[in-house]
Structure 1
Amino acid sequence: MKVAFLAAPEGVEQIELTDPWEAVTGAGGTARLVSTEGGSIQAFHHLDKAGTFPVDQTVTEASVPEYDGLVLPGGVANPDFLRMNERAVAFVKEFCEAGKPVAAICHAPWTLVEADVVRGRTLTSFPSLRTDIRNAGGTWVDQQVQICEAGRFTLITSRRPDDLKAFDEAFLREFSKVSA
C-alpha cells in the first residue's frame, strides 16, 4: 500500500499527520509527503509550532496512479492554504475521479469542499465545518468516523485527534482493498 499525505508548507496539525503516517508504515505500507512546495513543512500542535517534516514530492511532481489512497490531515491553516492552491485542489479531485479512497480528518474536508467532491456524500469533520459541508451539498454527521461509499470513490472522514485510532483503522481497511 502506497499512500500520499497532502499537507501545506505550514499549518498541518502534527498528530493528524504523524499518527496516520505511523499507521500506514506500521501496516507495511509506504507513506509519502506531498506538498505545494519542496523542502520541508512546518507542523503545529494547535497554534504552537511543532516538528518539521521533509517533503517527498510536490503536487506538480506527484501522480495519482502511483498511489493507492490519499490522506488529508487537518489543522485549521493546512486545508485553508491547500484550498487556495489550484494544483492541490486538482490533485485531490484527481484521486476522487480515479475512484481511489480519500481520508480526511478534522478541518481537512475544507479541501474536499473546494474540490467539489462532497455533493451527495455523508461525512464528518470538526463541527465548525458542518455548514460548509451542507452548503456544498453534503450531509454532515457527528460521528467518530464516517465511511461513505456513495459515488465513484470511498471517503473516510473523522472529527478530531481523539478519533485517530478509529480513523486509522477505517482508512487502512479501505485502502487495503485497493492495494490487494
Structure 2
Amino acid sequence: MRIAFLTAPEGVEQVELTEPWQAAVDAGHEPVLVSTGPGKVQAFDHLDKADTFMVDEVVGEVSADSFGGLVLPGGVANPDFLRTDDKAVAFVRAFFEQGRPVAAICHAPWILIEADVVRGRVLTSWPSLRTDVRNAGGDWVDEQVQICDHGPAKLVTSRKPDDLAAFCEAYLRVFAAEGD
C-alpha cells in the first residue's frame, strides 16, 4: 500500500516522521513524503534542527486516491503551517471523504480541525490541543492511542513520541484492515 506522509517544508518532529515511516517499510508498504513544495523538508528534534528529507510528491499535484492511507506526523510548527495551506487542508479532507484511513500524532490534529473532520470523533493528541479538539466538536481523551471508526474513514491518533510504538502498531493494523 502507498501511504502518504504529509509534512510542511519545515518543523516536522523527526522521530514522528521516521519511526512510522520505518514501520511502514518494515510492514511492506511504500511510504511517500508529500509536502507543499518540492525539494527537502527540514525535520526537528523538538526545537533543534535535525535531518532533511527529500520530498517525493507535492500536495496539489497528487490526489488522495493514489494512496491507501495518510500519516500526519507532529511537531508544533509542522501542522500549524499545514493548516494555513488550502491545498494541504483539501488533501487531508479528501482522505476522509473517500473513506481512507488517517493517522495523526502529537500536534497533527490541528490540520484535522482545520479540515473540519473531527466533529463527532473521539481522538487524542498533545494535551494542549484538548480545547481545540473539543471546540471543533471532537471528544478528546488522554490515551496512548485512540482508534475512531466514526464516519467513513478510520482515524488513529496518539499523544506524543513516547507513544510511537503503540501508534505504529495501531495505524498499521487499521491501514491493513482497510486495505483488504
TM-score tier after normalising by the smaller chain length: over 0.9
Any idea what SS the aligned residue of 1:22 has?
helix
C-alpha deviation, 1:178, in angstroms: 2.5
Q: Please provide the CA RMSD for this pair.
A: 0.5
Q: Deviations over 1:10-29 (max 9, x none)?
A: 00000000000000000011
C-alpha deviation, 1:63, in angstroms: 1.4
Any idea what SS the aligned residue of 1:53 has?
strand
> Which residue is equivalent to 2:158?
158
Q: Where do 5+ consecutive residues of structure 2 fail to align? A: none
Any idea what SS the aligned residue of 1:125 has?
coil
User: What is the alpha-carbon distance in structure 2 between the residues aligned to residue 118 and residue 70 of structure 1?
Assistant: 15
C-alpha deviation, 1:152, in angstroms: 1.2
Superposition pairs for residues 20-35 of structure 1, below 5 Å?
A: 20-35=20-35
> Which residue is equivalent to 1:168?
168
C-alpha deviation, 1:179, in angstroms: 2.2
> Which residue is equivalent to 2:125?
125
2:141 equivalent to 1:114: no
Letter in 1 for 2:122: T
> Which residue is equivalent to 1:142?
142
> Which residue is equivalent to 2:178?
178
Q: Would you identify which runs of 4 or more consecutive aligned residues in structure 1 move more than 4 Å?
A: none
> Which residue is equivalent to 1:104?
104
Any idea what SS the aligned residue of 1:49 has?
strand
TM-score, normalised to structure 1, is: 0.99
> Which residue is equivalent to 1:85?
85
Q: Deviations over 1:119-162 (max 9, x none)?
A: 00000000000000000000000000000001111000000000
Any idea what SS the aligned residue of 1:41 has?
strand
User: What is the alpha-carbon distance in structure 1 between the residues aligned to residue 66 and residue 152 of structure 2?
Assistant: 18
User: What is the alpha-carbon distance in structure 1 between the residues aligned to residue 17 and residue 40 of structure 2?
Assistant: 13
Aligned length: 180
Any idea what SS the aligned residue of 1:44 has?
strand
Any idea what SS the aligned residue of 2:142 has?
coil
Letter in 2 for 1:79: P
Letter in 2 for 1:170: A
Letter in 1 for 2:27: A
Q: Deviations over 1:90-141 (max 9, x none)?
A: 0000000000000000000000000000000000000000000000000000
TM-score, normalised to structure 2, is: 0.99
User: What is the alpha-carbon distance in structure 2 between the residues aligned to residue 61 and residue 163 of structure 1?
Assistant: 32
Q: Deviations over 1:18-60 (max 9, x none)?
A: 0000000000110000000100100000000000000000001
Any idea what SS the aligned residue of 1:146 has?
strand
Q: Deviations over 1:42-96 (max 9, x none)?
A: 0000000000000000001211111110000000000000000000000000000
User: What is the alpha-carbon distance in structure 2 between the residues aligned to residue 33 and residue 178 of structure 1?
Assistant: 21
Superposition pairs for residues 44-55 of structure 1, below 5 Å?
A: 44-55=44-55
